[in-house]
Chain A
Amino acid sequence: MAQTKPQSPAAPSSTIAPSDASAPIIRCSALAKTFKMGDSRIQVLRNVDLSVRSGEFLAIEGRSGSGKSTLLHILGALDEADSGQVIFDGHDIAAFSNSSRAKLRNTQFGFVFQFYHLLPELNVLENTLLCSMIEKSYLGFRAERAELRERATKILADLGMDHRLKHRSSQLSGGERQRVAIARALVNRPRVLFADEPTGNLDTDTGRQIMDVLEKLHRDNGQTIIMVTHDRTLAREADRTLVLRDGVLSAAG
């Protein structure tokens, strides 16, 4: 897998352009985010610029507390920056209402978290269908239930989880849970898949399997993936790797 070469020296305000000329699906400029911790303020992101093209697998590497998850949350419309812009498909998502941002997360984005974040009350199939159930009305879901179930089952089968459809998350291993989380993220056919330390809670072998899944998604389906990780080895498996250090984004050296 090719690693994008750094195009400019690391700088407080660095612009990381896509490697080809296609229009970026998501880009941000001058992002800044500060957290208040007691009396002190910690600047997590400083003037971050980023551009991701459609179909790209981008890894953002950084140490724990470097702000990479915060950046991912802001890009994924889960959080808001103090300043700067996030443009998705030509639209500034900061201008979106709460419900529009929720719809964006539901229909355009998919999320895979370090701790899987499956709902314990639901079984594998129900967890996978959660995004579809949120997207559609009760009647709409019932009308398309067979098709949606088939789609979810196929995704789970592709991830090797079709034998666990009725199991709850507590009955699954860590790797299996993460596969279900990936299936949930994919069921609404998102344009961008955000993965926040997807292997961070897994042993090496299982982490490897999850990475294989992500790479396969990217390779076979052209899925745009933005992954943050502290693991440099994993990060280098992406098309392009950026490093976030002290709130400043730079190309990997």
Chain B
Amino acid sequence: MYKLLLILKYLRKRRIAWVSLVAVTLCTAMVLVVISVMGGWLRMFLDTNHALGGDVVIYTDQGAQGFGNYQAIIDGVKKSNLVKAAVADIETGGLATFNNRKQELVQIKAFSDMSEVGKINSFAHSLYREYKQPLKQIDDDPSLSVDEKARRVAALDAKGPTFDKPFPADDYRHMMPGAPNSGFDAGNLPGIICGTDLILPKTETGSYDRDKYDIYHAFVKLAVLDFSTISSATPSMPTRTYWLVDDSKTGLWQVDFNTVYVPFDRLQRDIGMAAQYAPDGKTIVRPAHVTEIQIAVNQGVDVYKARDEIRKIVDAVAPPAFGQEALTVESWDEHQAQFISAVEHEKVTLTFLFGIISIVAVFLVFCIFYMIVVEKTRDIGIIKSVGATNWGVAQIFLGYGLLIGIIGAGMGLLGAYLIVHNINELHAWMGREMGVKIWDPRTYIFDTIPNTMQAADVIWIVSIAILSAVGGAIVPAIRASRMHPVEALRWE
């Protein structure tokens, strides 16, 4: 009882101990914020990449023109009972002109089978007009029962992405009449989906002011390089006009800032990756090409086991021709391994560095406690003279350290939670008021700073903070416990 009483009294009265409390608080908060942001970033990166790229990826390292026989590979892969769905895609670059005004170099992506895309990646869920807007309408509709809402959400989830236009064809004809007798029909132009950050500026609060911009009446002229003409003296750059039908927000800033999605067949033709036929019009001299195949495995299936089986299928269906390298089959994390490894190393390095800084906190606790023990020498003598044991005296200072650790770590946790939870608002405020911009989406890929804390991180960091505070108190506690009562009473 006396130990608890003295610990609480010392905590309240010895204000020098508050310095160690502040040190523990700051160190805990600092490490928690760094680990949460770094770890959160890594998790976001992994999750988003996984969500966007499927479980297993087949690609070739040999140039931008991709590989052929992809349909045979997809058919072969789909026969495996480990595989849920597979879709080929083309990735290339191009020049986009928006409403004949703004021009941007863009990444162009097209999926071979839009009905399969929803089973493989999160592209369908990234669309505003086709997914997020109707989802919000369902959520906000008070007339719908919970069951009806669930049914409608399930139907929305099952629906694959499309290039359907939001307005009737005549509206488009009215917007872009074309020259008389030219054969141009604006109502038949295909749709294009653009990354949200490519077409909409962000407001200060981080949202998009959709009402301000009439994006779904915009058109995009997309110029691409025809790879089949690349060896000629005048390579062809066909340009096609599209109506903007939707926008995609995947969360990966570098994707959302410069990627457009177009119908597969047209892009394949425009960049010369469609099948090429002999003059007889029947014999294929060059099969259609794609740059990648994304595969989703069935739920519960080990991705690496599926990868190995897919490798065998690919080797059997599309063995490398003489002088060619085999197609690469990788799991999603292997596909990003180099980058993931670099980030993980950075996280470990930062944790180590902040761990060293935290040792300063331990040393500070030690110094302050040592000072308190010296200052309290006579009190220790008094307590011992009236019957406290050596261990009892040691427990006072260990308990004092424990309490400082618990309160400091608790306050640090609270501070870290408030910082991490509001980190994007804080960052925006710092940018506004101080002109400080730490998080650049061009560097960190995502346009928002991760703002969640993991329970496991919290537990081990808080535990270490508490143990550190107790650790700092050990030597002073031993010194206090070993004091001779008479010498302590005579201390001046």
Show the binding face of A for B, using Cβ within 8 Å: 73, 78-79, 98-99, 102-103, 105-107, 111, 113, 117-122, 126, 130-131, 133-138, 141-142, 184-185
How many B residues have CB within 8 A of the partner chain?
Answer: 26
Cβ-closest chain B residue relative to A122: B9
- Is B489 touching A134 in the complex (CB atoms < 8 A)? no
- Is A117 touching B381 in the complex (CB atoms < 8 A)? yes
Asked, given contacts A78-B485, A136-B1, whether A121 binds B6 with beta carbons under 8 Å apart, the answer is yes
- Is B6 touching A134 in the complex (CB atoms < 8 A)? no
- Which chain B positions have C-beta within 8 A of A78? 385, 485-486
- Is B382 touching A117 in the complex (CB atoms < 8 A)? yes
Which residues 405-448 of B sit at the A interface, judged by CB distance below 8 A? none
- Is A138 touching B1 in the complex (CB atoms < 8 A)? yes
Q: How far is the CB of A197 from chain B (nearest CB, A)?
A: 13
Which residues 359-414 of B sit at the A interface, judged by CB distance below 8 A? 378-379, 381-392
- Which chain A positions have C-beta within 8 A of B384? 102, 105
Q: How far is the CB of B393 from chain A (nearest CB, A)?
A: 10
- Is A142 touching B1 in the complex (CB atoms < 8 A)? yes
Would you call B155 an interface residue if the criterion is a C-beta within 8 Å of the partner chain's C-beta atoms? no
* B interface SS class: helix
CA distance A166 to B2 in the complex (A): 17
Would you call B282 an interface residue if the criterion is a C-beta within 8 Å of the partner chain's C-beta atoms? no
A-B contact pairs, 17 of them (CB 8 A): A79-B486, A102-B384, A102-B387, A102-B390, A103-B387, A103-B389, A105-B384, A117-B489, A118-B382, A119-B6, A119-B379, A120-B379, A130-B383, A131-B386, A133-B2, A136-B1, A137-B1
- Is B378 touching A117 in the complex (CB atoms < 8 A)? yes
Would you call B10 an interface residue if the criterion is a C-beta within 8 Å of the partner chain's C-beta atoms? yes
Would you call B72 an interface residue if the criterion is a C-beta within 8 Å of the partner chain's C-beta atoms? no
Number of A-B contacts (CB under 8 A): 73
CA distance A131 to B378 in the complex (A): 16
- Which chain B positions have C-beta within 8 A of A136? 1
Residue interface bits B1-42, CB-to-A below 8 A is 1, else 0: 110111001100100000000000000000000000000000
CA distance A120 to B13 in the complex (A): 10
- Is B486 touching A73 in the complex (CB atoms < 8 A)? yes
CA distance A192 to B35 in the complex (A): 61
Asked, given contacts A73-B486, A117-B381, A119-B383, whether A102 binds B1 with beta carbons under 8 Å apart, the answer is no
Q: How far is the CB of A96 from chain B (nearest CB, A)?
A: 12
Q: How far is the CB of A97 from chain B (nearest CB, A)?
A: 10
Picked from B6, B378, B388, the residue with its CB within 8 Å of the CB of A102 is: B388
- Which chain A positions have C-beta within 8 A of B6? 119, 121
Among B383, B386, B388, B390, chain A packs the most CB atoms within 10 A around the CB of B386
CA distance A65 to B1 in the complex (A): 37
- Which chain A positions have C-beta within 8 A of B385? 78, 105, 111, 113, 117
- Which chain A positions have C-beta within 8 A of B388? 102, 106, 134
Asked, given contacts A73-B486, A138-B4, whether A130 binds B386 with beta carbons under 8 Å apart, the answer is yes
Picked from A102, A113, A131, the residue with its CB within 8 Å of the CB of B389 is: A102
Cβ-closest chain A residue relative to B13: A121
